[in-house]
Amino acid sequence: MRILICDDDVLIRERLQKYINDFFRNNNLKCPELLTLDSGETLLADKETKDIVFLDIEMPGVSGIYTGNELKKQNPNVIIFIVTSYMEYLDEAMRFQVFRYLSKPIDKQRLFRNLKDALQLYHTLVNKIPIETKDGVYSVLSSDIIFVEATERKVIIHTPDSDFESVHNIQYWVNQLSDHCFFQSHRSFIVNMKYVDNFDHTLIHLYNQKFSAYLTRRKYTQFKNAYLLYIESQS
């Protein structure tokens, strides 16, 4: 994992660096590669993988808004924290799907809570799952699975690009997709909340209304609460 801090204020850079290292040590996690930068230009010039970025908005030269937009073009999965005292820029930052906002001065405990959520999202984005079919084994990002459907003695894994007929049963996939993004809404369906458009007491609509999955009435409240928690974790 690679985490980058981009801020023209050296004290903010140093404090964030210390807090992030503290978080990983306190949780007995391997410390990631951590790089500090003082401008949007130097951040964009860095050509290596960027997994998590802490980005100031108001910097000399290239603004944080422009930098964030460019980062998302380079890698749509990059997780961006906006670190700012200028709340008036937040509407603009929403356009490139900011993961969280941190106000200055940095609240250490709030940072820790948000880093925990960011790591969960990171592992979802990079986690590849093998799908065994009659024709072979395919490796798919778990974040690309829209839903799993059991129908007519078949289990189909639906992704944006392809459907895969798994040799395993639905319970196997319940165990494989235990991440907080997935929910078994019905004995025959497991849905990825990332792709949920809307739902009622019996149906969940997914992926720009292209798919529907059954929602058992007795699971409606549980699903609603899980979905609201998921949405809150993304905002």
**pLDDT tens digit string along 66-106?**
999 999 889 888 999 999 887 766 666 666 678 888 989 99
Q: Which pLDDT does position 89 carry in this prediction? A: 63
> 204: part of which helix (H) or strand (E)?
strand 203-206
146 in the same domain as 110: no
CATH code of residue 142: 2.40.50.1020
Q: What is the mean pLDDT of residues 138-153?
A: 93
Q: Which pLDDT does position 94 carry in this prediction? A: 64
Domain-ending residue, one of 125, 156, 184: 125
Domain-ending residue, one of 59, 90, 125: 125
3-class DSSP assignment, residue 97: coil
Nearest-CA neighbor of 105 among 6, 44, 191, 16? 16
pLDDT in tens, 114-133: 999 899 888 878 888 899 99
CATH code of residue 12: 3.40.50.2300
Q: Is the dihedral of CA 104, 109, 115, 121 positive or negative?
A: negative
137 in the same domain as 90: no
144 in the same domain as 230: yes
Name, in order, each residue with C-beta under 8 angstroms of 23's C-beta and a sequence gap of 6 or more.
Answer: 29, 111, 112, 115
Determine the Cα–Cα distance for residues 135 and 33; give it in Å rounded to an integer.
39
Q: What is the mean pLDDT of residues 48-71?
A: 92
Alpha-carbon separation of residue 93 from 21, 82, 83, 88 (angstroms): 26, 8, 11, 10
| Whole-prediction pTM | 0.64
Determine the Cα–Cα distance for residues 222 and 193; give it in Å rounded to an integer.
13
Mean pLDDT of the chain: 91
Q: 150 - beta bridge partners? A: 155
Total residues found in the chain within this entry: 235
Residue-range definition of the domain harbouring residue 222: 128-234
106 in the same domain as 179: no
- 178 pLDDT higher than 90: no
Name, in order, each residue with C-beta under 8 angstroms of 68's C-beta and a sequence gap of 6 or more.
Answer: 55, 80, 82, 93, 96, 98
90 in the same domain as 13: yes
219 in the same domain as 141: yes
Q: List the single range of 93-97, 158-162, 182-186 with lowest mean pLDDT.
A: 93-97
Q: Using alpha carbons only, how large is the chain's radius of gyration in Å?
A: 20
26 in the same domain as 75: yes
- 161 pLDDT higher than 80: yes
109-143 per-residue burial string, b: 16 or more CB within 10 A, e: under 16: eebeebbebbbebbebbeeebebeeeeeebebebb
- 155 pLDDT higher than 70: yes
121 in the same domain as 45: yes
What's the domain count of the chain?
A: 2
Q: Which pLDDT does position 235 carry in this prediction? A: 59
Q: What is the mean pLDDT of residues 26-44?
A: 93
Q: At what angle do helices 10-26 and 108-126 cross, to 10 degrees?
A: 70
Q: Which pLDDT does position 93 carry in this prediction? A: 62
Q: How confident is residue 48, by pLDDT bands cut at 50, 70 and 90?
A: very high
195 in the same domain as 138: yes
Q: How confident is residue 234, by pLDDT bands cut at 50, 70 and 90?
A: low
Domain-ending residue, one of 67, 98, 125: 125
